[in-house]
Structure formats: structure tokens, C-alpha cells
Amino acid sequence: MAPARSILAALALCLVSAGAPLLAGGAPREEAYEWHNAKVGGGGFAPNIVFSRAEPDLAYLRTDMGGAYRWDAQAARWIPLQDHTAEGSYLGIESIAADPVDPDKVYLAAGMYKGGEAAIWRSADRGASWNVVEVPFAMGGNEAGRGLGERLAIDPNATDILYFGSRHDGLQRSTDAGRSWRKVASFPHEGLGTPEGRGTNAGISFVLFDPTSGTPGSRSRIVYAAVADPGPQHLFRSDDAGESWRAVPGGPGAEMLPVKGAIADDGTLYIAYCDAIGPNGIDDGAVWKLSPAGEWTDITPKRGGDREGGYMGLALDRNSPGRLALSSVDRWGPGDTVWLSENGGTSWTDLKPRSRRDTRATPFLNWGEDEAEFGHWTAGLAIDPFDGGTIAYTTGATVYRTDDAGKRRLEWRPWVEGVEQTAVITLVSPADGAAVISGFGDLGGFVHDDLAVSPPTMHLNPRLTNTNNLDYAGQRPEVVVRSGSLHAEHRGEGASLAWSGDGGHSWTPLRVLPLKLGDSPARRFDLTGDAAIDVSADGGVFAVATPVGVVTRDRGESWQVPDGLPAFARMTADKVDPELFYAVDFAANTVLVSRDGARSFAPAAGKGLPRELAWNPARKREAQYPLKADPRRAGHLWFLLGGALYHSADGAGSFRRATGRDAAIEEFGLGLHAPDRDLPALYAVATVEGQRGVWRSDDGGAHWVRINDDAHQWGLRFRAISGDPRRYGRVYLATDGRGLIYGDPAAEASHESPASGTPTREGMQ
């Protein structure tokens, strides 16, 4: 007979699978969902690619805020390896090391910022599952210098020996395959310590073993470690398997910092240098090689009068001695490029004039132009160790690969199928038209008519660095408005606002006229990225949150200040009634309402709200506004205050608290109601009864069901969430590093998290 506990557990699972309601006081329910990325393709900075030397067609990609990926040649796509982690810091990958002998073993150095969690991740099954070893030394996978490396290295002759070059705490070593780590006391550079504020150190930029100095099963005697912190010496060598170290004399001047290194099978060491650690701010660079006999040679490509930028990507062809590739970085004027040498750097061929880029799979890379640039921030570069005709390089927006390196003409294609590495700031799912319209950091954002296809372009006219807020007209959803941050060169006169009459597929810039506040001269207040914009239900009125809110009824030809609207009060349009607008005066703890199309505002009763209406988000310009209007019902509002949701059914006259004390809401959105309900489905990033995750409520916030699971957490880094007003159960998530994600209830519910991918923790020994 089964134990009583097992019977109860099985009964509970059946009830959950059948959709039984959660009883008051019961444990939080879970509902199985299927999760996918809305396709963009790449989109962010991937500092490096690491090919396996143990098996063909096996490669790893590290990103600065979206985790690590493994190339699956059979599926022809990159597989994300860290979606299960709930620790956001672990999605900033400082370094990757693939075991040079055992193709199943791989290691990650994971830690996004110096103040966050840091760990070495160990896998014996190519990242399907992990052991996480927490370490006391800080990392900076998304800090300056993230293109350096690789900091994590495995001795090819004794693969239980690993070194990690830390930013702040010297050289670290493991002698038990990464299970424990200790600082190498004899290494001359102990580290500069962890700086205060936003500054960072480069620390030890790379570690390399000379494979010729050992035999299988016996440690490599010669080990190099490079230091990219300021100082008189930058390269150090050990001749006794890391027990003692000495500075290597010669090479370029001390102003040149070693950023990338590679060692040939004959022991020749190649080093790329920059005068700064990047990825920005590099003005000069050099490339040198060091022979096994200790002779230095300057092999910097001749660039004529062009002295802009440095060098960072460096790769050797393991099948052709003397053949190597090199990438420039921060060469903004002429643009970055990749050079190829067939003779150890004696001469170089610039590949850029021989190249074209086929961006049909990810057309946003054209940035509205006829052709995509070669790339920027080209920090990562790799040659397939089994096929020298395959070269790949990374940029600030994608990864390019060619299999034509031996041909006269090279065609590069984005190598990003499965990679979605972007920060999504905001999103809306309109009542008609596209499934979702998004606002991204760096890329501006997209209209997704088909979630499985990379959109033809990002939001343009104007092209903004970030889109910080979006809104659509509830009764005319083809009218969409957006607000964002200008590129530096346009901050004096450009447009940070735009409107669309075709669902976001094309845009018209919108400028607010200069405003005079007090005795100060009149000036524009819509240039900072802080001026959020909203649109009336019929699409006729645009309301902009400048310090004194303004509205236009003629698409920006003229502007008016509504009567009774206090300073710094943002207007929110009702989604059904075009005459209804709402605003919140957080300074006076007052909700206001307009019943004449935002011509005038007056205080609403606001009964049932807390006495203090506090809202002070960390990212004000990018934060989701806490007041939302129901897309189906006039006068219905949802207000997030202090982690609790409040609901009004009478246009802000009265509110009731919709969520209990056991639910702390961070972000929320509205979607189509459940078939047997009247209220919209609520979606939230929240902590419910101690469990932080993604949740849905079908009864107005009284009860919640967790809809993500332990295999789908994405570092719990979210910026916005919304349901779909046309499809019950559909939810869209704006993640901070893993792109735009959407989920639907699974056809067959399963509440058991897979064993693969779930980490176990191992403390320092």
C-alpha cells in the first residue's frame, strides 16, 4: 500500500492538472507552460566563441548578460545552458573553458558584476546539468574588459588542473577539476582589490598552457598569465607548473595592455594588445609574438595613416602552422575588420574588402541601411580547430560565421539561431494587429507579426538607442506611440517620441514644443528619454509626461497643458472611453481623472487606496508605470502600490485591494479573461508564499498559479510582463538578457522539473 503522503501528493497533482481552484490557505499551484523566444536573433554583445578541440562541430558562446550557449550541430542551433538559474548574476559569463580532451566537460566562470554572486560552473554532460561552486573572488561578466580572455584555462596534459585569472584577487588555481579554488600565492600580481563605485579592474586577462612542456598525465610546466592592470610588467611565466613565476621582459611598451592570447602547438605565443580594456575607449593597439626561445617580434598589421582602435580577437588555425586571424576593435571611422595571416604575422590580408554579409535571417542588422556593417566591438574571434575554412567573430549585436575562409570571396552569415541575448525594456500586446510590440535596449525594439521570424527592421524614424515606453489606442490599436532615449549626436534637436498609424511598422517623429517653467528660458523637455507618451482610446490625443504634462490633438502641430494637472503627473488613457484619462500626483497622494479628453483634470475620490501613494522605481525612465487600464472595460483600473494590486471599477472613484498579504507583486500585466471569468487574467512577476517567479491569476488577484518552473527562470531578471488581449493564457516577458519570451499553457501538464539543468551547490573547500 502506498504511503499516505504519496497518495496525497498524487491527488494534489491530479487536482492541479485538472485545473482545480486553489483553496484558501493552500500551497501555491503550478501550471505547466511551454516557453519560447520571440525571434530576433542575437542582438547583444557576445564577448567570445570557444570551439572544442576534443570534438568537431562543438562550440560554446559566452554572452555578457544572457548566459552561455552550446552549438548543437545536429539541431543547427545554439542551446541556452542556464535558463534554469534563478540567480541573475550567473548570466554574466566571465569566461568559458571546454575540456581539450573530454568533449563532455565544460566550465563557466559566471558572475555579472563585482557586487554580485560569482561561481565556477562544472558540467560533465556539455551543460545539460551543472555543479555550481561558489567562489569568494568577484567577477565582471558585464563590466568593462569583458572582451578579454580567456581567463579560465585547463591544462591540456592534466585536465584536473584549472587556472582562473581574476579581476581583483590575483591568480586562482584548482587541482580537483574546479571543485575547490585557492589563490596562487607566488604569482607576482596579487590583484588591486575590489574598487568602490562603478569602476573595475581588468586583472589577469588570460592564462595559457604550453602543451609542449608536458605529457599526458603530467602537468604542463610552462604556463603564461597576462595582467591588463596598469603597471610596468604585463606578462608572467612559470617554468615549474605554476609554483613560481617571473616577468617576461621585452614586447611592447607598458602602456599596451595584453587583452587576448593564443599559443601555437610549437610553443609560439601570440598576444593582442590595446591601450584600454574596452570594449569602448580603445585608441591604439599592437600585436606581438614570442618565440619559444624568448624572442619578441612586432607583427602589428600595417594600417597606413589609420591609427584608430586596437586589436582584440585572436585565433590560430590548428591545422595550418603560422596561419592566424586577428580582429580590430573600436575602429569606428573606417570600421572594424578581420585580418588573416598565412606566415605567422609577417604579412596580413584584410578580409573586409573580400567580404559580404547575408543578413536575411536577421535583417535588423542592416540598421535601416542597404547593407550591414562589418561589425563593432569585434572582441571574439575563432577558427574551427577541425576546419580552417570556418572562421567566426563576435560583434556588439551578433555573431558572424563564414565557411569560405579559403575562398577569394567570403560570405558571412549570422551564426545566432537560438541565441536571444537582449535587454527588453517594455512591451505591449495590442487588441489587433501584431502579436507583440516591444521596446529594447540598444536595438530600439520590434513589431512581431510572426513570433518565429526575426522582424524586417527595428523601430526607425527616429532610431533611438532605447525604447522606454509604448502605448496603443484601445479602440484603434493600429495607432501606437513610443518614447525613448536619443543617440548622443541627436540630443540637442532630435525627436525622442514617435507615433505610428499602421501598428508600428512605420513611424513619424513627434517633437514637443519648448516649454517655459518659472523664470527659466523656454526649452524642450522631451530629449532626455524621460518623457513617456500615452494615447487616447480613439487614437486622437497624445499625452506626454514632460515636467508639466502636455497633450496634442493634431499630431504635434500644437500642444496644450491640461487644466488641473500637477507637475510630474503622468497621464494614462482609458482603453475604451476616449474621454477618460487618469493621472497620479504621487507628491500629493492623489489620483486625478479627466472626463473631457485630457482638457482638464480633477481629483478623484480614490477611496480604498493607501494613504501614501509611493512609487520610486530604480529605473524610472524604463520602469513600467503602475497604473494600467483594462483593455475591455471603461473605467476599470489596476494600480500597483507597495507590492499590492488595487482594482477600481468606477474610474478611480473607489479601489479595493485585489491581492492578499502572501503576494508581493513586482511587475504586472493584463490579458484576456479566462472563459468562465469577467475580470482580465492577471500576469505578474511576484513572490507568492515565498516563491519568486511568474504567476497568473484568473480571479482578480485572489489566487495565483505559478506558470514558470525550475527549468525556466532566466535568472529571474524581468523588466515587463503582459498578457495577450486576444488569447487567454498567453503571456509575454521582457527579460533583462534573454530576450523577448512568450509562454502558453502546455497541452499536457507536467509539474516535475527535469533533472537536467538543475544545479547543485558546492561550497568552497
366 phi and psi angles, rounded to 5 deg = -75, -15
Overall residue count recorded for the chain in this entry: 765
Q: Are strands 171-174 and 162-165 parallel, antiparallel or unpaired?
A: antiparallel
* Residue linked to cell 584577487: 169
* Alpha-carbon gap, residue 507 to 511, rounded angstroms: 13
Q: In what order do the strands lie in the sheet with 466-472?
A: 466-472, 480-485, 497-500, 508-510
What does each C-alpha distance from 177 to 159, 180, 657 come to in angstroms? 7, 8, 53
* Alpha-carbon gap, residue 297 to 294, rounded angstroms: 10
SS3 call for 364: helix
Q: Of residues 64, 526, 698, 724, which has the active-site annotation? A: 64
Tell me whether residue 6 is exposed, middle or buried, using C-beta atoms within 10 angstroms of its C-beta: 0 to 12, 13 to 18, 19 or more.
Answer: exposed
Which three cell numbers, joined as nine digits, stand for 434?
Answer: 501584431
Tell me whether residue 202 is exposed, middle or buried, using C-beta atoms within 10 angstroms of its C-beta: 0 to 12, 13 to 18, 19 or more.
Answer: buried
Contact between 443 and 43 (Cβ < 8 Å): yes
Contact between 261 and 226 (Cβ < 8 Å): yes
In sequence order, what are the beta bridge partners of 667? 685
Determine the residue type at 702: A
Contact between 426 and 736 (Cβ < 8 Å): no
Respond yes or no: is residue 83 known to be catalytic.
no
Which three cell numbers, joined as nine digits, stand for 585?
Answer: 500626483
Tell me whether residue 15 is exposed, middle or buried, using C-beta atoms within 10 angstroms of its C-beta: 0 to 12, 13 to 18, 19 or more.
Answer: middle
End-to-end CA distance of the chain: 44
Secondary structure string (H, E, C) spanning 97-135: EECCCCCCCEEEEECCCCCCCCEEEEECCCCCCCEEEEC
Dihedral, CA atoms, 691, 658, 719, 686, nearest 10 degrees?
0
SS3 call for 171: strand
| Pure H helices in 18-173 | none
CA 362 to chain centre: 17
Q: Which residues of 680-714 are buried (b: 16+ CB within 10 A; e: fewer)?
A: bbbbbbbbbeeebbbbbbbbbbebbbbbbbeebbb
CB atoms within 10 A of CB 411: 15
Non-local CB neighbours of 540 within 8 Å, separated by 6+ positions: 553, 578, 597
Which three cell numbers, joined as nine digits, stand for 336?
Answer: 572594424
In sequence order, what are the beta bridge partners of 638? 628, 647
Q: In 398-455, which ranges are E strands?
A: 399-402, 410-414, 424-428, 436-440, 447-448
Q: Of residues 72, 102, 404, 442, which has the active-site annotation? A: 442
Non-local CB neighbours of 24 within 8 Å, separated by 6+ positions: 703
Respond yes or no: is residue 350 known to be catalytic.
no
Which three cell numbers, joined as nine digits, stand for 763?
Answer: 561550497
H or E stretch covering 45: none
Determine the residue type at 615: W
Determine the residue type at 19: G
Contact between 111 and 139 (Cβ < 8 Å): yes
Non-local CB neighbours of 108 within 8 Å, separated by 6+ positions: 62, 68, 81, 93, 95, 96, 120, 121, 152
* Alpha-carbon gap, residue 12 to 324, rounded angstroms: 61
* Alpha-carbon gap, residue 582 to 573, rounded angstroms: 6
Contact between 553 and 544 (Cβ < 8 Å): no
* Alpha-carbon gap, residue 580 to 596, rounded angstroms: 7
Residues known to be catalytic: 64, 442
